[in-house]
Amino acid sequence: MTSDAPREIPLAQIDVPAGRRKVDPDWVAALAADIDGQGLRIPILVVEAGKRFRLIAGAHRLGAAKSLKWKSIPADVKPADAFADEAALRLAEIAENLMRRELSALDRALDVAAWREIYEQAQGAVKRGGNRRAASKFHDETLIDADPVAAAAERFAASFGEAAQRALGLSKVTVWRCLKIASLDGYTRERVALTKFADSQSELMALADLPEEMRPAVLDHVLSEPPMAGSVAGAVAMIEGRKPVDPAEKAFRSFSDSWRRFPVRQRRAFVRAHQDEILDMLKEEGAL
């Protein structure tokens, strides 16, 4: 159990486990300024580890305290026997991360992947019966029925009830995307961490779809100052000597291709919704 009142824990006695998400120095600086003026509002969370303490939640707060030259920090302390084993402790760390709004798409993906790995090591893979191709809505939604990452995602998502899936946002498709992103090599993860691409699931997915040997050149293009390309797709086009596809033009073509497949009722509803703009355009072009 956590004590009612936080304890003052010496910073020198707190250990941060390896493999934790990268601390954002800008966020640490902002927190330090706030804490310096307002004090620490939320204690960090640690667990006893002999004569030392292991951090569960609060890496940025801990970093801010260090930057302020604090000797100790308020902490909610859990006893060593609060967790059955290392896996339970790691899951507590991941759960704390997943519940924090500042988690980037990359951080969330890595946490979900670690959670899935720990779960399957402890529980074994969830097995499904029946005809997979006929029964799996996941196949219809993603068209990746033969993908081993999809299979792992489906097994893991199946371990949650529907309510838990909604609360944590861990649908089969979401887990698949997280596992796909988490498959990025360490070099790529390190370079995109703390950049805008770390919080763009679509760009991270695009990176994951590239051959590993191509990613450094793509990152050189999108992370240069100023950027040579604004997206992974744009960087690939430049590297291959192609003209980048304009997203607006691509969207227009997609809409135009879909228009003829819309029922007449839907097409007319669309025209009515935009009739003022359409009439203005026709007047400008002399059609009315």
**In terms of pLDDT, which residue wins out, 244 or 175?**
175
- Tokens found for residue 121: 């090591």
Rounded to whole angstroms, how far apart are CA atoms 104 and 199? 5
pLDDT at 137 over 50: no
Averaging pLDDT over each range in 1-10, 172-181, 226-235, which range is the top one? 226-235
pLDDT over 90 (residue 49): no
Q: At what angle do helices 232-239 and 215-223 cross, to 10 degrees?
A: 110
Show the DSSP H helices in 124-274 as ranges: 132-135, 137-142, 148-158, 162-168, 172-182, 186-192, 201-209, 215-223, 232-239, 247-259, 264-273
**What amino acid is encoded at 128 in this protein?**
R
Average pLDDT over residues 92-121: 77
Which class in CATH covers the domain with range 7-97?
Answer: alpha beta
10 has which bridge partners?
Answer: 72
| 229 has pLDDT over 50 | yes
Residue 126: predicted pLDDT: 47
| Average pLDDT of the segment spanning 173-179 | 86
pTM of this prediction?
A: 0.56
Q: Is residue 53 helix, strand or coil?
A: strand
Per domain, the residue ranges of the chain are 7-97, 104-182, 186-239, 249-284
